[in-house]
Amino acid sequence: MTFTPAPPPTRAPDRTDRLLAALGGILAGCGGLAVAALVTVTVRPEAAPVVAVGGFVVDHTPAGVKEWAIRAFGESDKDVLQTGVLIVLAVLAAGLGVLALRHRALALAGVGALGLVGALAAVTRPDSESWTDVLPALAGAAASAAVLYLLTRRLVGPPTTTPARSRRRFLVAGAGTLVGAVGATFLARSAGGDRSANATASRNALRLPRPASPAPAVPAGAQLPVDGISPFVTPNRDFYRVDTALVVPRVDADSWTLRIHGLGVSRELTVTLRDLFRREVVERDLTLNCVSNEVGGPYIGNARWLGVRLADLLREAGVRPPSAGGPADQLVARSVDGMTIGSPVETVMDGRDALLAFGMNGEPLPFVHGFPVRMLVPGLYGYVSACKWISSLELTTFAAYDAYWVPRGWSAQAPVKTQSRIDTPKAYSEPRAGTVAVAGVAWAQHRGVSRVQVRVDDGPWQDAELGAQDSRDTWREWVYRWRAEPGRHTLTARATDGTGAVQTEQRAGTMPDGATGLHSVTVTVAAAQGGAPARGARPGPSSTGRR
């Protein structure tokens, strides 16, 4: 009689195994992302899988959803997006972990598929210039698959070990993975900082040239002495930021060039920053605003810019505007991150101060605002004029080429619409009865603002006092001294531009070429002498105590 061993007892995975397997999937994902981060350091920050997939999502999100996201999340929209990508990834990773319990090969194939998605996203980004952009995602997927394999093998096998022992071994390996992933991520962070050191050093070392054509001093009366009104010049740190860049491009000023080419260019030009510094440098105050700004919204700022006249450079390249027989009617600016922004050649060359700017409020452009050089055209919304991190200018036609936002539903041409905003009092505030300064800003770049009026409830339009006009390319402050009576009141403002056209009260959304309508705020005026808040006061610390 021979002794045959009994078949090994196979243990069906239970709830705890599945939970641990899901955790294992997530740990494998963390390990993969950490390895991807390390490899990213040797490629470029934009090739990081989460960044690349996030960029793909940005480019393919329907316009309506994007507008909603900007409204809901404001300038943190990018963090929200990346967090969203990470959450989706975590859910998929947990699922693959559970799948690996029974169908390990299938789960590993799933990890590979995720790696391919990341790699494809990275290498198809418009700014991708090398196949090496696939490396972070592929290396990450390989690492992730290895971790998943090792962890699940500990969890389900070998059958001779007790469940408690396999789980202990799993947890030890899992903790090791986590420590390794965190360490690798920190390492990648610090090494990544070194990579952009050149750009930072080039910005720190930059000495801006003196303007041959300085901007006149801001007139004394441009800034009204009213509490709560926008500062006439927006400090750089408060200047709004709108762009699609999930990683802020860090361009080395010393190796930056701009190429001017295309239809009707008789002398193609490539200029360096030093070349621009040697040209006639001009300084101008210009107000920039975003087409996505809702009536009363925050996406507008006014700064003192230093740069060169774009029209001069174009003329040097032999470009003629359409009115002088030039064949190109669109100037397409391209940035290092692949953004394309189209402006009418006629507008850029009509004598206004269209700039290639390298200075902002006395310092080199901040990285987020386009260092080393950006474009600005007074009178046009940012998405059709203000290309940051600019790398080339191509002359073409509107018929032949749609810039980035055009197939996404925005107009190819978009001059700024006349608008006014009430900065103070704030909506739902409770000013005291008596004289209340109702004040804000109004803008109609390149046409100027000639009048601002305020209406209280359904009353007549009353003229506001205007701050001094700096230039017709800047916004203008205004104040209306209101004799406020107790109760609930709605204040509305409207501007008239330099051509005499009154801001329309017709409401329109931001899409496709800028919002219209009048900004209103509702306030509740409290009685003058410290008494009870007026009826209708909003529930708040001052009124809840009385109920």
> Binding residues for Mo ion, per CB under 5 A?
242, 290, 382-383
Give the DSSP letter of residue 351.
Answer: S
Count CA atoms closer than 13 A to 528's CA, side-chain side.
7
Q: Which residues contact 433 (CB under 8 A, 6 or more apart)?
A: 484, 485, 486, 525, 526, 527, 528
Among 44, 66, 369, 519, binds ligand MTE (CB under 6 A): 369
Question: Measured from the CB of residue 34, what is the shortest distance to ligand MTE in angstroms?
Answer: 29
Among 56, 367, 371, 389, binds ligand MTE (CB under 6 A): 389
Residue 210 burial (CB < 10 Å; 0-12/13-18/19+)? exposed
Separation of alpha carbons 303 and 294, rounded Å: 21
Residue 383 within binding range of ligand MTE, rule CB under 6 A = yes
Residue 484 within binding range of ligand MTE, rule CB under 6 A = no
Separation of alpha carbons 401 and 133, rounded Å: 27
| Residue 352 near residue 377, CB atoms below 8 Å | yes
Provide the token pair at 382. Answer: 């940012």
Q: Considering only the stretches 42-50, 53-61, 185-193, 233-241, report the one whose residues sit in contact with ligand MTE under the rule CB under 6 A.
A: 233-241
Question: Measured from the CB of residue 359, what is the shortest distance to ligand MTE in angstroms?
Answer: 13
Q: Considering only the stretches 155-163, 351-359, 382-390, 535-543, report the one whose residues sit in contact with ligand MTE under the rule CB under 6 A.
A: 382-390
Neighbouring-strand partners of residue 269: 260
For residue 55, CA distances in Å to 20, 121, 272 come to 32, 8, 29
Among 174, 382, 514, 517, binds ligand MTE (CB under 6 A): 382
Among 127, 283, 337, 394, binds ligand MTE (CB under 6 A): 337
Q: Whose CA is closest to 380, among 362, 405, 361?
A: 405
Question: Measured from the CB of residue 293, what is the shortest distance to ligand MTE in angstroms?
Answer: 8
Residue 444 within binding range of ligand MTE, rule CB under 6 A = no
Output b/e per residue, 506-525; b: 16+ Cβ within 10 A.
eeeebbbbbbbbbbebbbbb
Among 242, 317, 491, 515, binds ligand MTE (CB under 6 A): 242
Question: Measured from the CB of residue 528, what is the shortest distance to ligand MTE in angstroms?
Answer: 41
Question: Measured from the CB of residue 289, what is the shortest distance to Mo ion in angstroms?
Answer: 8
Residue whose CB is less far from ligand MTE, 121 or 464: 121
Q: Are strands 330-335 and 390-396 parallel, antiparallel or unpaired?
A: antiparallel
Size of the site for ligand MTE (CB under 6 A): 19
Site string for ligand MTE, 276-315 (x = CB under 6 A): ------------x-x-------------------------
- Residues forming contacts to ligand MTE in the complex (CB under 6 A) are 239-245, 288, 290, 335, 337, 339, 369, 382-383, 386-389
